[in-house]
Structure 1
Amino acid sequence: MANEITPYITAAVSAYGTAVLTRTTDASADATVSLGQRILQRIWRREDCRSDLEQAVNDASEAPDDEDFQASLRAQIKKILRDDRALVTELTGMLAEAGVTLTASGERSVATKVNSGVISTGDNATIQR
């Protein structure tokens, strides 16, 4: 998920700098920037991660073409998403509404629009109902 949303977020950060965190939605922004802004502001609502996220956004806004800062921002987002499954679900919905599809790639990757059961990619997993 972090890999999928980071390009939208970096587009918004490039357009607005750190103001992207508090700026109201800009109707004149292109779809990519607007989606990135909405995603980042939704993540920003989690007060427990604001400090680290703000630093990562600040670094990325000062050097928008720097791949290291983009990777740092992506890693920060990944940490936040790892700890908040409800946020992942909400962001997935935002992406779907915008017409963005997610593709799982890599060993044991899973992509699903809706899942009402267990998904296991581990070896020798035992699942009981």
Structure 2
Amino acid sequence: MSDINSLLSHAVPAVGAAVSAYGAGVLTRAEDEAAMATVRLGQRLLDRILRRTPDPAPIEAAVTDLAETGEDSDALAALRFQIRKALLADPSLMAEVAALLPERPEARAEGERSVAVAGDMAGIVSTGDGATNVQPR
């Protein structure tokens, strides 16, 4: 998983879940055995990124902003952007973060006119005879 956007689409939701669960305390909180797997994964990802990033302050600030604003999509996007910058600056860190993430199952379509989508998909998927598909602008 070396594509930065694919990596970020998996890593940032886990980090966001950790921030939502623990607030800014996620920066220093020890792993809680009772926490859900996604939260623990987010903590591990964030810890690895922060330890390996020469200047973790922008990521820490984005974590604090997200913690203070709840589940604000703009704050999550700002965190994603800071993590993206850190990963692009260090390809070996990107590989380490990718290795921490579970493998996604391969999409499989079975049966006549089945559709399989692996990863994110935007747009129309149509397999019907004589269908009229209109994409909103």
Q: Is the 8 A contact 2:53 2:86 kept in 1?
A: no
Moved over 4 A (4+): 99-106
Aligned identity (percent) is 42
Alignment partners' CA distance in 2, 1:88 and 1:64: 27
Q: Is the 8 A contact 1:64 1:70 kept in 2?
A: no
The residue aligned with 2:48 is 42
Segments of 5+ residues of structure 2 without an aligned counterpart are 1-6, 107-117, 122-137
* Count of equivalent residues: 104
Q: Is the 8 A contact 1:57 1:73 kept in 2?
A: yes
Alignment partners' CA distance in 1, 2:26 and 2:60: 10
Q: TM-score, normalised by structure 2?
A: 0.69
- Is the aligned partner of 1:26 residue 2:3? no
**RMSD of aligned C-alpha atoms?**
1.9
Largest Rg, 1 or 2 = 2
The residue aligned with 1:120 is none
The residue aligned with 1:58 is 64
Q: TM-score, normalised by structure 1?
A: 0.73
Segments of 5+ residues of structure 1 without an aligned counterpart are 107-129
1:22-41 Cα offsets, whole Å, 9 max, x none, are: 11111110011110011001
